[in-house]
């Protein structure tokens, strides 16, 4: 296993100490700043062992090694920030499918039903082959995005009678 060594400059130590001592920072930022200060092998460091540091911060020693590695590869400012997510989300419904959903929502509900439910809409979209598969949650999100409601239409907001409250 590669052992990464951390040697901080005086300016870096001052900035990390400032993060720990004051200001509102995320737990991630605080933890990594504390970790870097305690792993510093330079002239300004405290040099605490990985096992002892892992117990103090209640983290795994592997986490300490990952932080050290990232410090050596990307620098101390990168260690204090979370990595942006690389995950991509594929959309289930494009604009055409959304238009079909709204059209279906505005049509007459199935026989024996008074209105469309999210599950019924999802099943009908699959049945009509507008999409391969879809959940009622996706249907809800699309309708919410379009400010559509499956409930009764109500004009204006509900305002109670002021005299009834007195």
Q: How many CB atoms lie within 10 A of CB 47?
A: 12
Confidence of residue 153 (pLDDT cuts 50, 70, 90): low
Polymer length in residues for the chain: 166
Q: Which residues does residue 6 pair with via DSSP β-bridges, in sequence order? A: 40
Taking the whole predicted model, whether its pTM rises above 0.75 is answered as no
What are the tokens at 150? 């499956």
Q: Which residues does residue 40 pair with via DSSP β-bridges, in sequence order? A: 6
State the chain's maximal CA–CA distance in angstroms.
Answer: 80
Confidence of residue 151 (pLDDT cuts 50, 70, 90): low
Q: Give the closest residue to 122 by CA, choosing from 105, 145, 147, 146.
A: 105
Provide the pLDDT for residue 2: 61
Is 150 exposed, middle or buried, given 0-12, 13-18 or 19+ CB atoms closer than 10 A?
Answer: middle
Lowest mean pLDDT among 22-31, 92-101, 142-151: 142-151
Mean pLDDT of 31-43: 85
- CA dist 56 and 135 (Å) reads 45
Lowest mean pLDDT among 38-52, 132-146, 152-166: 152-166
- State the first-to-last Cα distance of the chain, in angstroms, to the nearest integer: 75
Every domain of the chain and the residues it spans: 10-80, 95-145
Q: What are phi and psi of 22, to 5 degrees?
A: -150, 165
Mean pLDDT rounded to a whole number for the chain: 83
Alpha carbon distances (Å) from 86 to 24, 41, 76, 83, 143 = 27, 33, 21, 9, 28
């Amino acid at each position: 296993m590669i052992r990464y060594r951390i040697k901080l400059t005086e300016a870096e130590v001052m900035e990390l100490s400032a993060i720990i001592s004051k200001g509102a920072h995320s737990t991630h930022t605080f933890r990594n700043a504390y970790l870097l200060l305690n792993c510093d092998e330079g002239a300004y460091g405290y040099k605490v062992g990985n096992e002892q540091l892992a117990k103090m911060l209640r983290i795994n020693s592997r986490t300490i090694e990952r932080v050290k590695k990232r410090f050596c590869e990307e620098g101390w400012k990168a260690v204090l920030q979370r990595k942006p997510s690389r995950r991509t989300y594929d959309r289930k419904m494009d604009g055409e499918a959304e238009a079909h959903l709204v059209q279906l929502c505005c049509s007459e509900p199935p026989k024996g039903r008074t209105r469309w439910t999210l599950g019924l809409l999802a099943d009908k979209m699959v049945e009509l082959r507008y999409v391969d598969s879809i959940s009622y949650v996706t249907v809800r999100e699309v309708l919410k995005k379009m400010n559509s409601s499956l409930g009764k239409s109500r004009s204006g907001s509900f305002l109670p009678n002021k005299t009834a409250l007195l």
